[in-house]
Amino acid sequence: MTMLVRNAALTGYLDLVRARKVDPLPLLRSVGLQAADLAVPNQWIAIDAAAQLLERSAVATGLEDFGIRLADSRKMTNLGPISVAAQGEPDLRGVLMLLGNYQHIRSEAISIRISEADDLAKVRIDFDLSPAVNSTHFSEMTVCALIRLIKFVVGNQWNPAYICFTHDAPATRIRHPKTLGKSIQFGDKFNGFVFLASDLDLPNRLFDTLFQSFAKEYIDTIASPRPVDDLDRVRELIETTLPTGRCSLQHVAKTLGVNRVTVYRLLTRSNTSFSAMVNSIRADLAQRYVTQHTRSLTDIAGLLGFSELSAFSRWFRSEFGSSPTVWRAERGNEARSKASENSTSTRVTSTSSVTASAPGVHVDHPDHVYVDSQAGGGERDRAGGSGCPRCGPRPPSGERHRGDSA
């Protein structure tokens, strides 16, 4: 199965191709992608397809620097949650380590490694692509995008000592030195760049001291772990494609670079089926979404892949035994009841504490005081026991005080 990358890797692709008066749709279809694969944020696509798309688009547009131009459109926000967590790192070293440790959030097919030797630091980027796939423009795009990220962090004046690519030099290199500088080495042993190790201690311009304490906790909370096997990859693809309305066995198989039979056999070996997995994921998400009152049921239906609210309601009733409206109301009542119980328990505990510390305090009417020998002496009721001068004798245990409402 082919490895996957988030569609954010192709941010700006449609605009760049159309700016060259080229229709991107045939190019997308030629590698098994559709415009819809780029429209919904955070979708997984095959890295082989993405790399092939850039190669074919470079030919179609006549741009030998297609990957570099695509990297020029990158912003810090393209890194998603990593860009937010980066605000908690005080220097460039911390930002690069964060990126290396959480790169799997953005791509399971790209790894970033940082090393130091002889006063130099090296950033190496490896791609898990099929051997037959040309990665020239994908490599240039990724390396340039990372250099652009570093400039966001430490300032535009920063430049690496030299940049390395494993592929051969292009026929024309007008934009390469303009964007990357003159120190570019083609046909090298790795894709990446080298710079002074002391630069790792450069301050992060985005650093926020208030955010530092919980930045790591934030990204750990929202970062899904790297899929450990093919079944996890199928499950994640189902979850991310449900809102697109294109969640099907065929689409998942195509994204993974295999046929439907391969996915079918994988699920069979795991004692499940595609429809059963879809239903299970829908059920888990439905319970989470329906309890969120900020989401309308129509929106939830769309997020779960239903074209109409009525279809979602029928499915929900068959799954949970009630309509989503009733289910939401019941969960809301349960939450309010629990909150009320907690509040009552707190009041009772508080009252009991007061009574224990001041035995002369009237339990039902705290502003009244029982007068008896235990509470400082005074008037006693007709039965010889303690009483309340304002309400009368203390009632027997278990009965309400005179004057209390029923």
Same domain, 214 and 236: no
Most confidently predicted of 40-44, 80-84, 118-122: 118-122
In a domain, 399, yes or no: no
Q: Would you say 144 and 179 are in contact if contact means Cβ atoms under 8 Å apart?
A: yes
Q: Would you say 51 and 30 are in contact if contact means Cβ atoms under 8 Å apart?
A: no
**Per-residue model confidence (pLDDT) at position 360:** 45
Same domain, 184 and 261: no
**Per-residue model confidence (pLDDT) at position 363:** 45
Distance CA 263, CA 267 (A): 6
Between 226 and 105, where is the model more confident? 105
In a domain, 349, yes or no: no
3-state helix, strand, coil in the chain (%, to 5): 55, 10, 35
Worst-scoring range by mean pLDDT, 49-63, 138-152, 255-269? 255-269
Mean pLDDT of 229-257: 84
Same domain, 286 and 369: no
The range of the structural domain enclosing residue 216 comes to 4-222
**Per-residue model confidence (pLDDT) at position 131:** 80
Worst-scoring range by mean pLDDT, 105-109, 192-196, 294-298? 105-109
User: pLDDT tens-digit profile of 154-164?
Assistant: 998 999 999 99
Distance CA 290, CA 283 (A): 11
Tally of domains in the chain: 3
**Per-residue model confidence (pLDDT) at position 95:** 92
What's the CATH code of the domain at 73? 3.90.1520
Interhelix angle 260-269/230-241, rounded to 10 degrees, is 110
Q: Would you say 98 and 104 are in contact if contact means Cβ atoms under 8 Å apart?
A: no
Question: Is 122 a residue whose pLDDT tops 80?
Answer: yes
End residue of a domain, out of 277, 306, 326: 326
Distance CA 336, CA 356 (A): 30
Residue type, 217: E
Of residues 83, 109, 45, the one with CA closest to residue 223: 83
Same domain, 112 and 16: yes
Q: Is 361 helix (H, G, I), strand (E, B) or coil?
A: strand
User: Above pLDDT 90, what percent of the chain?
Assistant: 39
Q: Who's near 297: CB < 8 A, 6+ residues apart?
A: 290, 309, 312, 313, 324, 325
Same domain, 256 and 204: no
Same domain, 193 and 305: no
Banded pLDDT at 118 (limits 50, 70, 90): confident
Q: Is 128 helix (H, G, I), strand (E, B) or coil?
A: coil
In a domain, 69, yes or no: yes
Worst-scoring range by mean pLDDT, 227-231, 268-272, 380-384? 380-384
- In total, the chain counts a number of residues equal to 406
Same domain, 202 and 87: yes
Question: Is 277 a residue whose pLDDT tops 60?
Answer: yes
Of residues 272, 80, 63, the one with CA closest to residue 170: 63
In a domain, 337, yes or no: no
Six-digit token string for 208: 């926020």
CA angle 385, 386, 389 (to 5 degrees): 130
What's the CATH code of the domain at 318? 1.10.10.60
Six-digit token string for 245: 């309305």
Banded pLDDT at 306 (limits 50, 70, 90): very high
Q: Would you say 204 and 154 are in contact if contact means Cβ atoms under 8 Å apart?
A: yes
Half-sphere exposure of 214 (CA within 13 A, CB side): 5
**Per-residue model confidence (pLDDT) at position 25:** 96
Question: Is 385 a residue whose pLDDT tops 50?
Answer: no
Q: Would you say 162 and 183 are in contact if contact means Cβ atoms under 8 Å apart?
A: yes
In a domain, 292, yes or no: yes
Same domain, 70 and 180: yes
Half-sphere exposure of 325 (CA within 13 A, CB side): 5
Same domain, 68 and 19: yes
In a domain, 45, yes or no: yes
Torsion 47-244-23-178 (CA) sign? negative
Same domain, 162 and 241: no
Banded pLDDT at 316 (limits 50, 70, 90): very high
Average pLDDT, the chain: 81
Burial class (CB in 10 A: 0-12, 13-18, 19+), 197: middle
Banded pLDDT at 36 (limits 50, 70, 90): confident
Burial class (CB in 10 A: 0-12, 13-18, 19+), 13: buried
**Per-residue model confidence (pLDDT) at position 130:** 84
Same domain, 139 and 178: yes
In a domain, 342, yes or no: no
Same domain, 67 and 213: yes
Residue recorded with tokens 């919980």: 214
**Per-residue model confidence (pLDDT) at position 251:** 85
In a domain, 384, yes or no: yes
**Per-residue model confidence (pLDDT) at position 90:** 92
Alpha helices for 249-375 (secondary structure H): 249-256, 260-269, 274-290, 297-303, 309-320, 324-357
